[in-house]
Structure 1
Amino acid sequence: MKKNNADQILMLLKMRGELDASVIAEELNLSKEGARQHLVKLFDEGYVEKVCKSNGVGRPFTYYSLSQVGKDKFPDSHADITVQLLRSVKKLLGENALDLLIGDREQLTYARYSEKLGNAKGIEDKLSKLAEIRSCEGYMAEWKKENDCYYFIENHCPICAAATECQQFCRAELKNFRNLLGEEFQVNRTQHILANESRCVYEIKPQLKSAVK
């Protein structure tokens, strides 16, 4: 099996979640049979899981998703040492010191992002620039628009272990997004990797005029 095809399939499953072979074939410009062969090999190697689902008509379809082994191919950056450091700060200096540490990181991150988004023209340009920044940091970020609502999607969390240990990271991230996108938009997290979902999703929609101060 060609390594590049296998990696592309794993990346697609990481980005899109559960898919069947026909969708994978279409997305990656493969034949259906070729996609199935790659998926069988990935399943045998333990990188993907499969489940059969019936749509009510005809035979059931087989859907594929990443197994834990497959997810581990998208690593959490320096997970062990980060968690150890967080625990040491909390133990030696206390919870308040940890809050101050994360607060300082939040401010530095906001300043850096704000500078890069400073010349953005409108919400879509902001989201594109933010997705580029976050992707460079390992979050595999993208955005899409549905009707009047935008969705900012992070398909991977490179600090997942740290965020699991200390969820102030997630709260700081949401606060920064709200500040960066402006008070004319309402930003809420609707999916969360720490809630055992495959990605973090932020719903961004215009504030009601009466709600904007």
Structure 2
Amino acid sequence: MSDRTRTRLLNALKASGPQTAADLSTGLDVTPVAVRQHLDGLLAEDLVEFEDVKGGVGRPKRVWSLSPEGHARFPDNHSVLILGLLEGMKDLFGQEGVDRLIAHRQEAAHQAYSKELERATSLGQRLEILAELRSREGYMASVEEEDEGGYLLIENHCSICAAATACQGFCHSEMLLFQELLGPDVTLTRAEHLLSGGRRCVYRIQEAR
């Protein structure tokens, strides 16, 4: 199996969620036969799984997704070390110490992101730059424009999932960070949340009218 095609398949299922072999073939520009062969290989390694979904007419569609083992292939920023450090900080400095750490991280990110966002002239440009910055940090971020207006900022992977699981303050801090960066004339709500059972984190952003 081509390692490159294998990696592209795993990334596509991580980024876009469950898909049929035909969808993957179109998106990756790989023949349907090759995609099915690769998926069978990944299935044998327990990295993917499938569900046969009944439609209105014809045979059920086979929809592929990452298995828990497949999700585990994506890095989590040394989760064991992070959890140990957070527990140690809480033991030494209490919850106030953890809160100060989160605030310090938020301020540092605000300064770094703000400098990059200076060149943007519209909300759409700001979001595209923000998604690029977040992707560099491992969040697999992208932006989608909604038909009814507004945008979705999508993060398909959480680089700090272990820390956020241990302390929900990290998630709250990132919401505050995005709101500060995008400005008071923008409303931001969370549409999906990885730690609440979602497949990814999605933020809905709209300009105030």
Normalising by the residue count of structure 1, what TM-score does the alignment of the two structures yield?
0.95
1:189 corresponds to which residue? Answer: 190
Pairing 1:171-210 to 2, within 5 Å after superposition? 171-208=172-209
2:103 corresponds to which residue? Answer: 103
1:23 corresponds to which residue? Answer: 23
Q: Does 2:119 align with 1:119?
A: yes
Alpha-carbon deviation of 1:193?
1.0
Measure, in 1, the Cα distance between the counterparts of 2:106 and 2:28. Answer: 38
Alpha-carbon deviation of 1:37?
1.0
Pairing 1:10-49 to 2, within 5 Å after superposition? 10-49=10-49
Q: Does 2:139 align with 1:132?
A: no
Alpha-carbon deviation of 1:96?
1.1
Measure, in 2, the Cα distance between the counterparts of 1:35 and 1:94. Answer: 51
Deviation by residue 1:73-107 (Cα, 9 ceiling, x = unmatched): 11101111111010111112111111111111111
Q: Which amino acid in the other structure matches residue 106 of structure 2?
A: E
Measure, in 2, the Cα distance between the counterparts of 1:109 and 1:3. Answer: 34
Alpha-carbon deviation of 1:119?
2.1
Measure, in 2, the Cα distance between the counterparts of 1:100 and 1:179. Answer: 18
Measure, in 2, the Cα distance between the counterparts of 1:6 and 1:42. Answer: 8
Q: Which amino acid in the other structure matches residue 11 of structure 1?
A: N
Measure, in 2, the Cα distance between the counterparts of 1:158 and 1:51. Answer: 28
Alpha-carbon deviation of 1:196?
2.2
Normalising by the residue count of structure 2, what TM-score does the alignment of the two structures yield?
0.97
1:211 corresponds to which residue? Answer: none
SS of corresponding position for 1:188: strand
Q: Which runs of 5+ in 1 are unaligned?
A: 209-213
SS of corresponding position for 2:204: strand
Measure, in 2, the Cα distance between the counterparts of 1:30 and 1:17. Answer: 18
Measure, in 2, the Cα distance between the counterparts of 1:48 and 1:162. Answer: 26
CA-based RMSD: 0.9
Q: Does 2:156 align with 1:155?
A: yes
Q: Which runs of 5+ in 2 are unaligned?
A: none
Runs of 4+ in 1 over 4 A off after TM superposition: none
Measure, in 2, the Cα distance between the counterparts of 1:7 and 1:33. Answer: 17
1:165 corresponds to which residue? Answer: 166
Measure, in 2, the Cα distance between the counterparts of 1:7 and 1:97. Answer: 40
